[in-house]
Structure 1
């Protein structure tokens, strides 16, 4: 999985590749993972538990946090594996070890909670989700099978499968090619939005095409990949991190009047547009945060607690909807603003605490164990020493 032209000088490049493989080499990106997960959690609390005035308006389309994760995934993989010469089977096993144990554990708990609450469970849909294929099925039962949050891992699995090919195709290109690739992907995301509405009038089929299908969402992943390659090879944007954060915030503020004017059921609402059109803003945010770390500038995102919260974010993403279901099952749906605030606070505290425990006792130990059991890169053969002259 090595690249081609426009590299740093060889010795420096090898040192950078080795450093990039270290955990939290770009700590601000780890910190940003927490904030993206938080926005997703607040989105589900607003939609499923009840609204808190002002705050719920700001996170009404917090599902865009998934878009951030798709862009971030492409960036981090390109940054980590460009020039690293890791065999494809080793790469895929590492990714499997990273996401599958926590996904299975959360799905088992989710199905158990559904069974206790007498919710309908499709065995075929759950089985498909365990194989990370359910996002390909145009059926709402499959989209929410097992753990509803895990649909995005089906997309991620597809991204992992095509990443070695993407890296081989893009790594040896010029910077202009990367820029055009990112621009075309963003344009395609804009065009696919009305195109899906012209193909079908079925609301779920339209949402499935735009929000779930890995082929559609892979455009966001590719934007992350080319951004990662560009930064890896020395590109530094002129937009500082505070400005990038401001652009992301402004985009979400713009969604508030749009959502009030157009119901989510209509294709030109911000329901799908919020995820598709946020791609360039999140790409700029990821690049700005990464460059700040590379230039040793303080961001407020790379401290010990932010890194810790970022580590917990994957488990939090998979656990929080289960906690919402349990707490609402025990307490009922809140009937007042005070009750809504109480449920929000309880869900946030319990789900985050469980995520910390899951990271410590399930996610990381399982990943380490699977990595030890799986294939490993073959160390390079030692070069024979040249015979001394004379």
Structure 2
């Protein structure tokens, strides 16, 4: 095999594409919003959701795509920003202008739409749709992207924004770490372990810390494999292990319980008590095995393939433009659909039909692309021009 070229690609098209696919995976997990009023109860029939046979994996496990987002963010931030911050080329002001100009416009727009939509829904149903904690205090938290910093009493307004709220905290930690020149692997390992502890108190923040800094470790691993002669020989084996891990995880999850297949296989070796121990242990650690090992290995594998080939997934990289827009827009659109369904006299069972799924997706995707090209990018440019004109000038060169 020929050695890998030294330069890191200026853009990872494959990572753009999988980011968009991950966002759509979260949407499938949230399809359940249509199918219950208030907390999930016995009336919610997961197996009756649209195209269940084809999409059951995502209906059951789509929530874990958020951990992939965190891991991918960690990889990308260590790739794009870590060295520049450490070398003093990117100040704190510039860093946060760049990030918040990307995040804030759509966040405020969708928050406003949800406020109006929830008022309309509440006037007819005497309750809020799905996310119930919509008071002034939680509105203020949402305005400052602090909805899940530990001050909240429950999910509020545009609920999926919780992970973006956690990411903002991670941006602060990341910048401080890089600014102090401490973004080395031992520190990142410590932070991953710290995140596991934090997860016992605040599961959302803990998940973010674990996956984000595992993504940072993944970037260091990618860099080593990309440059080291020894790493070059290990790359095919690394790809094979990553692919085998995905096959194994999918089979495990399709069985309905992580580790069930492993326990069944070990059943030929271990007594029943041993099988029970495997399942009990896996129930506590499987999420970390995926967020610390599987997702980073996947990101490294795609990055290495693209580094070798020059590009991977360029033709489908546009899917990545859907990631932030679909993540923030899908709940407001669900709220709109449920309001219109009420006006038309349709009950919740309509959203068990394949037709409802087709209509919703056919509406969402064009809106998301329009949002990206005609709202997010222009607003990002305007905010950067207003807050940091030098940044806009540098980007235009």
Alignment-derived partner of residue 103 in structure 1: 107
Question: Quick one: distance in 1 between partners of 2:74 and 2:114?
Answer: 28
Alignment-derived partner of residue 74 in structure 1: 74
Q: Is the 8 A contact 1:71 1:224 kept in 2?
A: yes
Alignment-derived partner of residue 317 in structure 2: 307
Structure 1 residue 167 displacement after superposition = 2.3
Alignment-derived partner of residue 325 in structure 1: 335
> 1:352-363 maps to which residues of 2 (within 5 A)?
352-363=365-376
Alignment-derived partner of residue 32 in structure 1: 18
| 1:347 matches 2:360 | yes
Question: Quick one: distance in 2 between partners of 1:107 and 1:271?
Answer: 36
Distance 1:274 1:371, change over 3 A: farther
What do the CA deviations read for 1:335-378 (whole angstroms, capped 9, x no partner)? 379x5211222221211111111111111111111122223469
Q: 1:287 pairs with 294, 297, 300, which one?
A: 300
What do the CA deviations read for 1:60-95 (whole angstroms, capped 9, x no partner)? 121111111111111111101233321121111101
Q: Is the 8 A contact 2:322 2:372 kept in 1?
A: yes
Structure 1 residue 190 displacement after superposition = 5.9
Q: Is the 8 A contact 1:190 1:277 kept in 2?
A: no
Number of positions where the alignment pairs a residue of Structure 1 with one of Structure 2: 330
Question: Quick one: distance in 2 between partners of 1:226 and 1:55?
Answer: 34
Q: Higher helix proportion, which one?
A: 2
Alignment-derived partner of residue 272 in structure 2: none
Question: Quick one: distance in 2 between partners of 1:273 and 1:317?
Answer: 27
Structure 1 residue 253 displacement after superposition = 4.0
- Aligned residue for 2:61, secondary structure, equals coil
| 1:221 matches 2:212 | yes
Alignment-derived partner of residue 127 in structure 1: 140
Distance 1:82 1:138, change over 3 A: closer
Alignment-derived partner of residue 201 in structure 1: none
Q: 2:92 pairs with 75, 88, 91, which one?
A: 88
- Aligned residue for 1:145, secondary structure, equals coil
Structure 1 residue 160 displacement after superposition = 1.0
Distance 1:126 1:170, change over 3 A: same
Alignment-derived partner of residue 56 in structure 2: 57
> 1:1-390 maps to which residues of 2 (within 5 A)?
20=10, 25-46=11-32, 48-49=34-35, 51=49, 52-59=51-58, 60-84=60-84, 85-118=89-122, 119=128, 121-137=134-150, 139-141=152-154, 144-168=155-179, 173=184, 178=185, 196=200, 209-210=202-203, 212-213=204-205, 215-232=206-223, 234=226, 238=235, 239=237, 244=242, 247-248=245-246, 250-256=248-254, 257-258=256-257, 276-279=288-291, 280-296=293-309, 299=312, 301-303=313-315, 306-331=316-341, 332-335=346-349, 339-375=352-388, 376=390
Structure 1 residue 157 displacement after superposition = 0.6
Structure 1 residue 333 displacement after superposition = 4.5
Structure 1 residue 226 displacement after superposition = 2.4
Q: Is the 8 A contact 1:258 1:269 kept in 2?
A: no
Q: Is the 8 A contact 2:381 2:392 kept in 1?
A: no
CA RMSD of aligned residues (A): 3.5
Q: Is the 8 A contact 2:12 2:311 kept in 1?
A: no
Distance 1:45 1:274, change over 3 A: farther
